[in-house]
Amino acid sequence: MRPPRLIGVFCLGLFFLVAAGCGMGNLASNLSSAIMNQNDPETVRAGAPAYLLLIDSFIEGDPDSETMLRAGAGLYGVYAAVFVTDPERAKRLAGRAHGYGERALCERKSSLCGLAQRPYEEFVASLENLCKRDVPTFYTFSVSWLINIKANSSDWGALADLPKVEAALKRLVELDETYERGSAHLYLGILQTLRPPALGGKPEVGRQHFERALALSGGKDLGVKVEYARGYARLLYDRELYDRLLREVLAADPESPGLTLLNVLAKEQARELLRSGEDYF
């Protein structure tokens, strides 16, 4: 439990933000930025639940707010994917992220309400209704869905939705491949390198997506190199590429607007992957 004094300080700070006239949308954006720019993961691990409850309260007060629903999906998704180790808890939190993402998309475009539940062919056809202005909300919807599938990876029903998510990510690339520094390419790279070629994987296609994500992020998103090493290089037993990518991550400065937290975590993963590589190769 957080000490009462810290809770009081947090609420007092929030009071001043609201009293100063900060809109709820700006506050949600500022909270997200503060978390993503933090260079101490343990601070985020300890403090993020308070932010999640705060976002929940805003959504309770304005359940039709696309902005707040997007913020909720994003924060719950990051927390579930990065900080939660208990499988059942991860499922609950990722499920909330996905639920908020679905609601945000529905608020964005009523014709896309219930999109995730549609049969594949209808799902793909529905994606044509999207335009570039829809990308931020559609991106949040797609990534929160992918995180929810990851949290439920033992459920074949959840895994059966992967082709839909892949189609969604490809549509994002068509609409605006530069959004969030090319992250849609990163996720497509991961999906294409989950399996070896004999089982339907497409590692060379995955490599192209990783390279494109690196180019669009200017090499500042260190997580791309970690996933490139973990997915492509490891899958093809390319030790030289594996070591080079991970050592580049360790040598890089993690400080970068909007990426600092994830870059610090990427460096931790790179150290572990280098150690485990001694046994793998």
Confidence tier at 25 by pLDDT (50, 70, 90): low
Contact 232, 185 (CB under 8 A): no
Across the range 65-74, mean pLDDT stands at 93
The average confidence (pLDDT) of the chain is: 89
Residue 258 has pLDDT above 80, yes or no: yes
Residue 30 one-letter amino acid:
N
Question: CA–CA separation, 240 vs 209, rounded Å?
Answer: 20
Inter-CA distances, 134 with 30, 66, 108, 138, Å:
21, 11, 7, 6
One-letter amino acid for residue 87 of the chain: P
- Which residues lie closer than 8 Å to 85 by C-beta, 6 or more apart? none
User: Where residue 242 falls among pLDDT bands split at 50, 70, 90?
Assistant: very high
Q: Is pLDDT at 257 greater than 50 in this prediction?
A: yes
User: Which pLDDT tens digit goes with each residue over 116-133?
Assistant: 999 999 999 999 999 999
What's the whole-number mean pLDDT along residues 186-209?
A: 93
pLDDT at 167: 98
Q: Cα separations (Å) of 197 from 109, 139, 170, 213, 262?
A: 38, 28, 20, 22, 30
Residue type, 123: F
Instruction: Tell me what pLDDT residue 157 has.
Output: 87
Mean pLDDT (whole number) for 179-186: 96
Exposed/middle/buried for residue 40 (C-beta within 10 Å: 0-12, 13-18, 19+): exposed
SS3 113: coil
At residue 6, does pLDDT exceed 70?
no
Q: What is the pLDDT of residue 15?
A: 33
**Whether residue 5 has pLDDT greater than 80:** no
Rounded CA separation 239/243 (Å): 6
Residue 30 has pLDDT above 70, yes or no: yes
Spatial distance between the Cα atoms of 60 and 244, rounded to a whole number of angstroms: 48
Task: With a cut of 50, say whether residue 245 has pLDDT above it.
Answer: yes
* pLDDT at res. 254: 96
The stretch 157-164 carries a mean pLDDT of 93
> pLDDT-based confidence at 196, cuts 50/70/90?
confident
Higher pLDDT: 17 or 197? It is: 197
C-alpha distances (whole Å) from 158 to each of 54, 85, 95, 165 are: 29, 19, 11, 11
- Among candidate residues 201, 262, 203, the one with its CA nearest the CA of residue 229: 203
Given a cut of 70, whether residue 10 has pLDDT beyond it is no
- Which two tokens mark 92? 């609950």
Output the six-digit token pair for 31.
């909270």
- pLDDT computed for residue 229 by the predictor: 98
The amino acid at residue 53 is: L
Neighbouring residues of 116: CB distance < 8 A, sequence distance ≥ 6: 98, 102, 123, 145, 161, 164
Least confident residue range of 7-16, 36-45, 58-67: 7-16
Res 24: pLDDT:
53
Read off the pLDDT of each residue in 17-34 and give the average, rounded to a whole number.
55
Mean pLDDT of 224-228: 97
- Report pLDDT for 199: 85
Most trustworthy range by pLDDT among 57-71, 78-92, 95-109: 95-109
Q: Whose structure tokens read 């990534």?
A: 143
Q: Are residues 176 and 193 in contact, defined by beta-carbon separation less than 8 angstroms? A: no
